[in-house]
């Protein structure tokens, strides 16, 4: 900072200053060989060893090796890592799966939750809570570690439910919402209402466009959108064409509540195994109550879909999006619900190159025409689990063809793809990134599940 203040660089001098003082992600070497082999060669390049942050760094320390997504993302990210770990597991990297679980457990123990990413400026929010599902990937049966991880899982649940204590007749507090019939569900949120450090200029500009709406309100909702992982999408916008209308904190999302149901079920199971009957009973009850509320408010039989709920409008949103597959993915949907969702997915979300994120083309990166690896896996695994193997494999085949086409053209695994044209994705706040953790993981997981698709994915 002192050098910057002294030099006041501008134009070419500013670029030279950045290159002199910062490590800037460069282009990865072009890959060769088939997809599965390429992913296996990428894993070592994306592994980072634990280091003590230097003075003044925003990095949060981690105790064990971990895998980063790649590109501009040079720290561990929460929900990305579950999909990365799927690939690590099938590619024979179980020690890395366990060490990343150690890292996430450590984060919960130190901060009370898993932050969006391992930077100090991410501590005010989390991301879709996949830690419970990550634990399913472990093979470690050491009683002490199992006990420690269960304790961490319960702490994470308490983080998401902390707002229960401050509802006091209000419709929402922190990440907890009170539905019209008195039942409790959850929303995405952020403990801060300032511009995001990592997107400061963008948030200031968006808040200015939203005036006279208070800037803090807009910024809180932008941050909550970042906690959702879908930053940004028409799911969170009153006007799908205007990011300034973001109102994430009004939305009760089906994906978040499905994941919290899965968390509550796993806590109950682990408590039962630990002979903690009181805990097992309490969390079994919480999961049952959440399922009842999801079925009442988020299941829409008349439109054959799960929908997000708009608290401000007291009705389901019109957005048809890939989040509706989360109840199938975690085992929450009934056979009739799963069959109906599959028909809607086939009709509205299956594209030439995979599963659409939404049906609206808005310029936001979590909208059509972009497809994302995690949502493909949620769909594939969820449909397969619920008696729809043909549709699951069809989505897998389409997605692999997209990844394979872009790989043949660029030699890279990308963060997102245009699934209408089978090209690199676009939109959002930054250029498409290569690397890429969750695309690598999902590619390996799909090829492990459907080895006959390997030849077509070269």
Distance CA 385, CA 255 (A): 17
User: What local confidence, expressed as pLDDT, does residue 441 receive?
Assistant: 97
Torsion of CA 115, 117, 119, 125, to 10 degrees: -40
Examine the residue annotation and report whether 198 is marked as an active-site residue of this protein.
no
Distance CA 35, CA 367 (A): 26
What pLDDT band is residue 27 in, cutting at 50, 70 and 90?
very low
What's the pTM? Answer: 0.93
Distance CA 441, CA 324 (A): 22
Phi-psi region of 10 (alpha: psi -120 to 50; beta: other; left: phi over 0): beta
Contact 253, 228 (CB under 8 A): yes
Residues 6+ apart with CB under 8 A from 204: 195, 215
Helix (H, G, I), strand (E, B), or coil: what is residue 181?
Answer: coil
- Residues 22-28, mean pLDDT to the nearest whole number: 57
User: What local confidence, expressed as pLDDT, does residue 322 receive?
Assistant: 98
User: What local confidence, expressed as pLDDT, does residue 28 receive?
Assistant: 44
Distance CA 123, CA 111 (A): 8
What pLDDT band is residue 23 in, cutting at 50, 70 and 90?
low
Contact 406, 424 (CB under 8 A): yes
What are residue 438's phi and psi, to 5 degrees? -75, -25
Residue-wise over 270-283: b if at least 16 C-beta within 10 A, else e?
Answer: bbeeeebeebbeeb
Q: Which residue among the candidates 80, 103, 255, 415 is catalytic per the annotation?
A: 415
Contact 234, 222 (CB under 8 A): no
User: What local confidence, expressed as pLDDT, does residue 432 receive?
Assistant: 75
pLDDT tops 70 at residue 355: yes
pLDDT tops 90 at residue 337: yes
Among the listed residues 356, 435, 329, the one whose alpha carbon sits nearest the alpha carbon of residue 31:
435
Q: Kindly report, residue by residue over 54-90, the tens digit of the pLDDT.
A: 899 999 999 999 999 988 888 999 999 999 999 999 9
Measure the CA angle with vertex 16, ends 14 and 17; round to 5°.
60
Contact 83, 442 (CB under 8 A): yes
Mark out the alpha helices in 28-168 (DSSP H runs): 35-46, 78-90, 94-111, 131-135, 143-161
Contact 378, 326 (CB under 8 A): yes
12 exposure class (CB count in 10 Å sphere: 0-12, 13-18, 19+): exposed
Contact 267, 147 (CB under 8 A): no
Distance CA 298, CA 327 (A): 10
Q: Where are the domains of the chain?
A: 335-458
pLDDT tops 60 at residue 14: yes
User: What local confidence, expressed as pLDDT, does residue 31 receive?
Assistant: 62
pLDDT tops 80 at residue 457: no
Helix (H, G, I), strand (E, B), or coil: what is residue 333?
Answer: coil
pLDDT tops 70 at residue 383: yes
Q: Which residue among the candidates 80, 227, 231, 264 is catalytic per the annotation?
A: 231
How many Cα atoms occupy the beta-carbon half-sphere of 185 within 13 Å?
A: 29
379 sits in which H/E element: helix 373-385
User: What local confidence, expressed as pLDDT, does residue 21 receive?
Assistant: 82
> Of the ranges 15-24, 202-211, 449-458, which is most confident?
202-211
Distance CA 87, CA 430 (A): 26
User: What local confidence, expressed as pLDDT, does residue 20 receive?
Assistant: 80
Question: Which of residues 11 and 257 earns the better pLDDT score?
Answer: 257
Distances 419 to 200, 244, 310 between C-alpha atoms, Å = 30, 27, 29
Distances 263 to 56, 128, 252, 268, 439 between C-alpha atoms, Å = 36, 11, 17, 9, 24
Question: Which of residues 72 and 95 earns the better pLDDT score?
Answer: 95
pLDDT tops 80 at residue 1: yes
Q: Kindly report, residue by residue over 269-324, the tens digit of the pLDDT.
A: 999 999 999 999 999 999 999 999 999 999 999 999 999 999 999 999 999 999 99
Q: Kindly report, residue by residue over 137-183, the tens digit of the pLDDT.
A: 999 999 999 999 999 999 999 999 999 999 998 999 999 999 999 99
pLDDT tops 90 at residue 189: yes
Examine the residue annotation and report whether 231 is marked as an active-site residue of this protein.
yes
User: What local confidence, expressed as pLDDT, does residue 30 receive?
Assistant: 58
Distances 275 to 146, 168, 261, 286 between C-alpha atoms, Å = 13, 34, 21, 18
Mark out the alpha helices in 188-310 (DSSP H runs): 200-210, 215-228, 254-273, 277-293
Residues 6+ apart with CB under 8 A from 458: 34, 35, 404
Q: Kindly report, residue by residue over 209-259, the tens digit of the pLDDT.
A: 999 999 999 999 999 999 999 999 999 999 999 999 999 999 999 999 999
**Percent of residues, the chain, with pLDDT higher than 90:** 88
Distance CA 9, CA 44 (A): 37
What pLDDT band is residue 370 in, cutting at 50, 70 and 90?
very high
Q: Kindly report, residue by residue over 395-441, the tens digit of the pLDDT.
A: 999 999 999 999 999 889 999 999 999 999 988 877 777 789 999 99
Among 7-21, 123-137, 328-342, 351-365, name the one with the lowest average pLDDT: 7-21
């Amino acid at each position: 900072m002192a050098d910057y203040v002294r030099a006041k660089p501008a134009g070419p001098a500013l670029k030279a200053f950045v290159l002199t003082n910062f490590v800037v992600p460069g282009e990865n070497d072009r890959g060769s060989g088939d997809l599965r082999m390429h992913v296996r060669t990428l894993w070592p390049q994306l592994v980072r060893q634990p280091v003590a942050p230097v003075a003044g760094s925003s990095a949060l320390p981690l105790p064990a090796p971990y895998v980063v997504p790649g590109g501009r993302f040079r720290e561990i990210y929460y929900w990305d890592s579950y999909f990365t770990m799927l690939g690590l597991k099938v590619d024979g990297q179980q020690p890395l799966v366990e060490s990343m679980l150690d890292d996430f457990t450590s984060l919960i123990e130190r901060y009370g939750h898993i932050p969006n990413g391992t930077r100090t400026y991410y501590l005010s929010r989390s991301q879709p809570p996949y830690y419970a599902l990550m634990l399913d990937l472990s093979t470690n049966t050491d009683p002490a570690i199992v006990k420690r991880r269960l304790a961490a899982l319960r702490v994470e649940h308490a983080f998401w439910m902390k707002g229960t204590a401050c509802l006091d007749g209000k419709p929402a507090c922190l990440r907890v919402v009170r539905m019209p019939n008195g039942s409790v569900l959850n929303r995405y949120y952020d403990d801060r209402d300032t511009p995001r450090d990592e997107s400061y200029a963008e948030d200031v500009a968006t808040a200015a466009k939203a005036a006279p709406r208070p800037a803090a309100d807009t910024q809180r909702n932008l941050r909550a959108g970042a906690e959702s992982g879908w930053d940004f999408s028409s799911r969170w916008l009153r006007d799908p064409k205007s990011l300034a209308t973001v109102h994430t904190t009004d939305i009760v999302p089906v994906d978040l509540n499905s994941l919290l149901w899965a968390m509550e079920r796993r806590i109950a199971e682990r408590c039962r195994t630990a002979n903690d009957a009181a805990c097992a009973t309490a969390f079994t009850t919480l999961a049952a109550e959440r399922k009842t509320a999801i079925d009442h408010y988020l299941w829409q039989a008349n439109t054959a879909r799960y929908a997000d709920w708009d608290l401000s409008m007291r009705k389901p949103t019109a957005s048809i999006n890939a989040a509706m597959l989360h109840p199938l993915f975690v085992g929450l949907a009934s056979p009739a619900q799963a069959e109906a969702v599959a028909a809607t997915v086939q009709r509205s979300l299956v594209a030439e190159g995979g599963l659409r994120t939404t049906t609206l083309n808005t310029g936001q990166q979590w909208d059509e025409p972009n497809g994302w690896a995690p949502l493909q896996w949620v769909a594939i695994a969820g449909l397969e689990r619920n008696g729809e193997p043909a549709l699951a494999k069809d989505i897998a085949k389409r997605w692999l063809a997209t990844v394979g086409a872009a790989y043949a053209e660029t030699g890279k695994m990308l963060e997102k793809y245009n699934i209408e044209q089978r090209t690199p994705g676009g939109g959002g706040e930054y250029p498409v990134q290569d690397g890429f953790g969750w695309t690598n993981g999902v590619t390996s997981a799909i090829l492990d599940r459907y080895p006959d698709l390997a030849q077509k994915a070269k």
